[in-house]
Structure formats: C-alpha cells, structure tokens
Amino acid sequence: MTFCLDSIIIKPEEGKEIKNAIILLHGYGGDGKDISMLTMNWKRFLPNTIFLCPNGHEPCPINPSGFQWFDLTKDDPSYILEQSLRAEKKLNNFIDQIKDKFKIENKKICLSGFSQGCMMSLNIGLTANEEFNCIVGFSGKIINPSDLKLRKKVSTNTILIHGDSDQVVSPNFLLEAKDFLIRNDVSIETHLIKNCDHFIPTEASSIALNYILKKLN
C-alpha cells in the first residue's frame, strides 16, 4: 500500500507484533528523516511500535530540500489557519491509511511533532472523533486558539516540552498552550528545558519517552 505522504517507516524487529504506532511530524523546512532521529533511542524501549515519519505535503520555500505543513511566508493569521487546515486534511487521510494498513485504533497511536509538527499534532489530536493515546509536542504552540476551541472534540492526554531560550517559537507559547488546554479539560504536562533553544535535546527526548512508555504500555 502506498501512503498519501512520503514517509520513513521504522517497523519492529522481525517477529515482533505491531501493537502501537508513533507518528512523528517534522518542523518547518525539515523532513521525515530529521524527526526520525528520535527513534534511534525510543525504539529500543518500544519493541512493538511502528514509527511513521512523513514528509510535509508541500516543499518549503526557504529550504528547497525540505518540506512544510503550512506556509509561513505571509504574516496573516487567517491565511495560516487556512493553510494548516489543508495540511490537517492530508494528515487525517494519512492516519486513516495507517489505521487501515496496520489495524491500529486511535487509542494505540501517539502523535508527536517538533515546532510546526507539534502544532499539527495538537490540532489533529484534539479535533478527531476519537481520542488518540497521547500527544507529545516539542517547541510548538496552538495555531489558532479560537478555531481549536470551536472544533475540539476530544481531550487527548498531552505533554508539551519547550526550551526556555527558544528564539524561534517563544516559550511564552508553552504557557499559553497550557492555559488553553487546562481551560478546555485536557490533561496536560509541561516541561521547560533550561538553556535550550529551538531543538530537541537529549533531556527532552528522555522526558517524552518516559511519558510515552506510561501511556502506551
């Protein structure tokens, strides 16, 4: 089966049953290979998990070899929301294909992402008809709180991790997201990593892994 998004797929070792899935969404200008680096440590502890790392559905204008989930060349909230909703539709199709191919339900799927990928994970994980297992977000924010509040259907458990020195997505957005999620009845855990800019350090990866292990097992 060919998926609607080109993806790096990391399956369990031969003979291991697929029981869970983690979908990893890269940031603006990145690709599936970038974000798949997280699996190098995680897969040892999640032997029955398949990891899927799709490329964004559009090339990124600032990095011709990379991809984006939505365009950021216009500083226009309405335009950004419109573009993100297009990406949401693509990703929901992708997730439906995964569920069909590997016979996995939402409750066995973790959505994770970095930066723009975190933003998409939050939107998809909270607007689905059924809760996902969890959302694990790094260095992101809520794209449009007013829109998400209107469309929210479920309260998927969420962890958000952010660097306190992030120069790309301000750590203030972590506090805003936490406030939004609490007010909208989502179980939320947050971590602020000291002296960390816009990347995923080992400390953040380990915190995320421990959270996933508690939720998936």
Dihedral of alpha carbons 34, 199, 174, 60, sign: negative
Query: Tokens for 24?
Result: 């990893």
Q: Which residues are identified as catalytic? A: 115, 166, 198
Dihedral of alpha carbons 127, 128, 130, 135, sign: negative
**CA gap 128, 68 in Å, rounded:** 22
Beta bridge partners of 141: none
Beta bridge partners of 137: 113, 160
